[in-house]
Amino acid sequence: MKVDVTLKLRRNLQMSDHHSEVTTPQSKRFRNSSTMFTPYTPGRAQRRMQFDPRSRHTVVDIEDPDAEDNIDDALLDLIKLTWNISAVSPLFGLDIKDDVRLKQYSKKLREMVATSLYKDNVSYEAKFTPMHHLVCSPSDPPAVKVEVHSKDDEQDTEMKQIYLGIFLSWGPRSDVEAENVKLPILLNRGLQGVAQAVHSTLSQMFDCTITAMPASQEDLMWLTTIVLNSDVAESRSTKKTAQYELILEYTIPELPASDLIKVKFPLKTMKTLWSKICPTHLSATNDNEQVASIIDLSQVNRFFECLRIKMLKSASLELGYCLLEKISLPNFTIKSNKMKVTDIEAIDRVLWFFQEKAVLHFQAPIPIRNEEC
- Across residues 52-69, what is the average pLDDT? 58
The predicted-structure confidence for 333-359, as pLDDT tens digits, reads as follows 999 999 999 999 899 999 999 999 998
Torsion of CA 178, 183, 188, 191, to 10 degrees: 50
Q: Are residues 116 and 159 in the same domain?
A: yes
pLDDT of residue 291: 75
Is there a single domain that holds both residue 190 and residue 101? Answer: yes
**Residue 361 falls inside a structural domain:** no
Instruction: Read off the pLDDT of each residue in 240-258 and give the average, rounded to a whole number.
Output: 84
Indicate if 219 and 201 belong to the same structural domain.
Answer: no
In this predicted structure, the answer to whether residue 36 has a pLDDT above a threshold of 70 is no
Instruction: Indicate if 122 and 155 belong to the same structural domain.
Output: yes
Q: Which of 64-68, 170-174, 225-229 has the lowest mean pLDDT?
A: 64-68
Instruction: Return the minimum-mean-pLDDT range out of 18-22, 136-140, 218-222.
Output: 18-22
Long-range CB pairs of 192-196, under 8 A, 24+ apart, other chains included: 193/117, 194/113, 194/117, 194/148, 194/162, 194/163, 195/84, 195/163, 195/165
Residues 282 and 305 occupy one common structural domain: yes
49 within 8 A of 297, measured Cβ to Cβ? yes
- The model's confidence at residue 280, banded by pLDDT at 50, 70 and 90, is confident
Residue 45's pLDDT is 57
The C-alpha angle with vertex 224 and arms to 223 and 228, in degrees rounded to 5, equals 110
Residues 99 and 176 in one domain: yes
pLDDT at 240 over 70: no
Residue 266, domain member (yes or no): yes
Q: Any long-range contacts for 194-199 (C-beta under 8 Å, 24+ apart)?
A: 194/113, 194/117, 194/148, 194/162, 194/163, 195/84, 195/163, 195/165, 197/112, 197/113, 197/116, 197/117, 198/109, 198/113, 198/146, 198/148, 198/163, 198/165, 199/86
Gap between the Cα atoms of 21 and 27, Å rounded: 11
Tally of structural domains, the chain: 2
pLDDT exceeding 70 applies to what percent of the chain?
A: 73
Residues 290 and 271 in one domain: yes
Residue 5's Cβ-count burial label (10 Å; 0-12, 13-18, 19+) is middle
Least confident of 74-78, 120-124, 156-160: 156-160
Cα 1 to Cα 17, 267, 279: the distances in Å are 21, 11, 20
Quick check: is 184 in a domain?
A: yes
Is residue 198, in this structure, part of any structural domain at all? yes
For residue 341, being part of any structural domain is answered with no
Helix H or strand E segment including 83: strand 82-88
Q: What is the pLDDT of residues 182-219, one digit of tens each?
A: 899 999 999 999 999 999 999 999 999 999 999 999 99
- Asked whether residue 191 falls in the same domain as residue 287, the answer is no
Among the listed residues 296, 152, 309, the one whose alpha carbon sits nearest the alpha carbon of residue 225: 296
Instruction: Identify whether 342 is part of a domain.
Output: no
CA-to-CA dists, residue 280 to 235, 276, 283, angstroms: 21, 9, 9
Distance of CA 20 to the CA centre of its chain: 33
Q: Is residue 231 part of a domain?
A: yes
More confident residue, 267 or 283: 267
- Look at residue 220 in the predicted model and tell me its pLDDT: 98
Is residue 87 very low, low, confident or very high in pLDDT (cuts 50, 70, 90)? Answer: very high
Of 157, 184, 208, the position where a domain reaches its end is 208
Residue 370 reports pLDDT greater than 50: no
Report which of residues 115 and 24 the model is more confident about: 115
**Residue 357 falls inside a structural domain:** no
Q: Containing domain of residue 228, as a range?
A: 4-62+215-336
pLDDT band at 226 (very low <50, low <70, confident <90, very high): very high
> Taking the CA of residue 222 as centre, how many other CA atoms within 13 Å lie in the half-sphere pointing to its CB?
26
* Per-residue model confidence as pLDDT tens digits over 98-107: 999 999 999 9
Instruction: Name the average pLDDT for the chain.
Output: 81
